[in-house]
Chains A and B, each alone.
Chain A
Amino acid sequence: MTSSITLSAQHLTRHHGKLCVVDDVSLELRRGEVLGLLGHNGAGKSTTLQMLAGALPPGSGHIDICDFDLARQAGLAKACIGFLPEHPPLYRDMRVDDYLLFAARLHHVPEKHLAEYLALAKQRCGLSDCGQKLIGTLSKGYQQRTGIAQAIIHQPPVVILDEPTVGLDPAQIRDIRALIRALGDSSSVILSTHLLHEVENICDRAVILQQGKVIFSGSIEELRRHSDIESSFIRLTAAQPEEIQP
């Protein structure tokens, strides 16, 4: 726990049948850093994040979370992760409070801290008034917030968010981005998105995936250095000759 690297993934690969979805991806995440995983649809972002969160076993490669091996010390490593998948894993027939407490207990939050953690997570995600509501009756934006609250309630050192701002209105997007920035102060955050300006606004570093391969990895400044960020993204992703841009 002393090292400043909270998440380290080496040479991850994953095949779906014959198709190689993730090809030799290596990532590192430091404490207090927000990393943006950028790429087109189908570039392998979600698959990569699922492997990092321990939902999918990698075909090959090695993942360390807070110095715990995700394959061998799964329990210890997973306790350090908060994960929001692409589709928030919500039980529609539960109340928000019950659901968040359930998520907290699953992640070994001690009974005496439950109320405090619950209040903090709800406050950070703007859910303070929704505790008694059924999740199924919430709007898409509030469901997404509940999903994020579930990922951060146990105050994990590593937070993995798969497209956290999808389906939110502009004001909510602003709130969530502020929240992610704030999370970046205490934890490390890795998030995926296909929106460039999102990465530019909230991330310290960016990794661009294209057909399962890392084609760019560096700070936002480096990405910016190739003139304007938008054109550099397009230039980078268009560099692959076999890629046919629609």
Chain B
Amino acid sequence: MKRTLARKEFRSLFAAPSTWWMLALLQLIFAWFFLARLDDYLQVQAQLAQMGNAPGATISIAAPLSGVLALVLMMLIPLFTMRLIAEERRNQTWILLATAPLTAADIVLGKYLGLLAALTIIVATCALMMAALALGTHADFGLIASNLMGVWLLAASYAALGLYFSSLTRQPVAAAFGALAVSFGLWLLELSSAPLRALSPNVHFQALNMGLVSTADLVYFALFITAFLLLAMRRIRRERGGR
């Protein structure tokens, strides 16, 4: 069941021209940023060569690129998640899922996995760009991998958050703005002091961004995703009159 739904979500995402436009635009932004960083790096390369423990190409180019990708995905994912439930409600197609023999978990996980597959493709295209560094220099693949993992986990977290907001309303725009507002708020928490700061997904992303893979961060992302998926399931179960 989850597979049927996931496949349908994935296909309908890529049936929409707007998705392709967004992907193309994303590639343009990344390529531009990638080349700009590469340019900067080449200019200071001579000075870097004289330093003892100079930063390499990967940390100067791939790591900031992941940071940009994380920020762009934060703004972009609500546009994808608003379609998942809120738009189905508004288009009156939700009733097909509501009257089909599906549990709330089937619906939420099916839709989530479909979106996650699409997001994986976005991250993968970016990964190719980073891997292109290997053509000219000795790329640090460990750092690239931890960066990609961070971006992917961050995207999965924003997708779960967006899916929850999508389940709350029948107004796609309200769902998108709600998710965006909360993601932005969580992002700003990064600037606050110790206990609150730990709530920000960005703080946990930064460790991965620097190449530090720690269990605490992975557990944080897993909890974040699980919590919002469970909330979305609960909301749908309530709506159908269950407990």
Could you tell me which residues of chain B, from 1 to 45, have a CB within 8 Å of some CB in chain A?
1, 4-5, 8, 11-12, 15-16
Asked whether A102 lies within 8 Å of B93 as measured between CB atoms, the reply is: no
> How far, in whole Å, are A218 and B97 apart by their CA atoms in the complex?
33
List 20 A-B residue pairs with CB atoms under 8 Å apart, sorted by A's residue number.
A54-B99, A55-B95, A55-B99, A71-B241, A74-B242, A78-B101, A81-B99, A83-B95, A89-B93, A91-B93, A92-B91, A93-B15, A93-B16, A102-B4, A103-B96, A105-B4, A106-B5, A106-B96, A107-B100, A150-B96
Interface residues of B (CB under 8 A from A): 1, 4-5, 8, 11-12, 15-16, 91-103, 240-242
Asked whether A55 lies within 8 Å of B98 as measured between CB atoms, the reply is: yes
> How far, in whole Å, are A103 and B96 apart by their CA atoms in the complex?
8
Task: Give the interface size class of chain A.
Answer: 20 to 34
Asked whether A94 lies within 8 Å of B12 as measured between CB atoms, the reply is: yes
Within 8 Å of chain B (Cβ to Cβ): is A197? no
Closest A residue to B96 by beta carbon equals: A89
Asked whether A54 lies within 8 Å of B12 as measured between CB atoms, the reply is: no
> How far, in whole Å, are A103 and B12 apart by their CA atoms in the complex?
15
Closest A residue to B8 by beta carbon equals: A102
A89-B94, A93-B16 known; A79 and B101 CB under 8 Å? Answer: yes
Asked whether A91 lies within 8 Å of B12 as measured between CB atoms, the reply is: yes
Closest B residue to A108 by beta carbon equals: B101
> How far, in whole Å, are A144 and B153 apart by their CA atoms in the complex?
43
Asked whether B4 lies within 8 Å of A54 as measured between CB atoms, the reply is: no
Asked whether A89 lies within 8 Å of B95 as measured between CB atoms, the reply is: yes
Q: Which A residues touch B103, using CB under 8 A?
A: 74-75
A54-B99, A71-B241, A78-B99 known; A106 and B1 CB under 8 Å? Answer: yes
